[in-house]
């Protein structure tokens, strides 16, 4: 996942779906910053 500044914020396994709870929580945290 890439942050607003273009830097890598987090990496996920290729077999994770966008709906995976870990991915969703990471997106929520990143958007709150």
Q: What are phi and psi of 6, to 5 degrees?
A: 90, 0
* Residue percentage of the chain with pLDDT more than 70: 100
- When pLDDT is averaged across residues 1-29 and rounded to a whole number, the result is 95
* Position 33 pLDDT exceeds 90: no
Instruction: State how far the Cα of 29 lies from the Cα of 14, in Å rounded to an integer.
Output: 20
The 10 Å CB-count burial string (b at 16+, else e) for 1-33 is eeeeeeeeeeeeeeeeeeeeeebeeeeeeeeee
pLDDT of residue 8: 96
């Amino acid at each position: 996942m890439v942050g607003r500044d273009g830097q890598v914020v987090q990496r996920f396994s290729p077999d994770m779906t966008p709906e995976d709870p870990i991915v969703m929580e990471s997106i929520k945290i990143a958007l709150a910053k």
